[in-house]
């Protein structure tokens, strides 16, 4: 779990009033002194791609209040590197669509202002 050690949630807005599509908007602050940056990369810290996907997963879990497993990643595009010393706050825009039988289709972006770092499309299955 990265929440609380790698990043902190600054704002969390979840609109689940529609059955077809739910919207999640989150602003997080990265902890630029996290030990992961000493190896990724010394002197030029970059948020690892796997951590970006994990943050999306944890935010969706918080919204739907269930643990999730990533079952399919249709499309993951890393468009720009995230340096936590330059972009300490990130904006997550996430759409959650229930598919069938505990399966969620998720589309997400991570951005800071006009800079888009990640575009993600995949499926998560609830485990609990």
**How many residues in total does the chain contain?**
128
DSSP notation for 11-25 = EEEEE---SS-EEEE
Q: Where are the domains of the chain?
A: 7-126
Collapse the DSSP code of 97 into the 3-class scheme (helix H, G, I; strand E, B; otherwise coil) and give the result.
Answer: strand
Q: Model pTM?
A: 0.96
Residue-level pLDDT at 43: 87
Give residue 93's pLDDT band: very low, low, confident or very high (50, 70, 90).
very high
Residue-level pLDDT at 128: 66
Collapse the DSSP code of 111 into the 3-class scheme (helix H, G, I; strand E, B; otherwise coil) and give the result.
Answer: strand
Task: Return d(Cα 121, Cα 40) in angstroms, integer.
Answer: 25
Q: Is the peptide bond before 94 cis (omega within 30 degrees of 0)?
A: no
Residue percentage of the chain with pLDDT more than 90: 85
Is 76:50 a contact under the CB 8 Å cutoff? no
Residue-level pLDDT at 23: 96
- CATH topology for 7-126 is Thiol Ester Dehydrase; Chain A (3.10.129)
Range name among 28-32, 97-101, 120-124 with the lowest pLDDT average: 97-101
* Mean pLDDT across 107-118: 98
């Amino acid at each position: 779990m990265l929440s609380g050690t790698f990043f902190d949630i600054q704002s969390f807005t979840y609109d689940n009033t529609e059955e077809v599509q739910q919207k999640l908007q989150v602003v997080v602050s990265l902890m630029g002194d996290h030990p992961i940056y000493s190896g990724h990369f010394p002197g030029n810290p970059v948020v690892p791609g796997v951590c970006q996907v994990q943050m999306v997963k944890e935010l969706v879990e918080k919204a739907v209040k269930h643990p999730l497993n990533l079952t399919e990643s249709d499309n993951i595009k890393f468009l720009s590197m995230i340096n936590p010393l330059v972009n300490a706050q990130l904006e997550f825009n996430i759409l959650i669509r229930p598919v069938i039988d505990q399966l969620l289709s998720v589309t997400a972006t991570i951005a800071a202002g006009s800079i888009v770092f990640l575009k993600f499309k995949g499926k998560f299955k609830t485990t609990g």
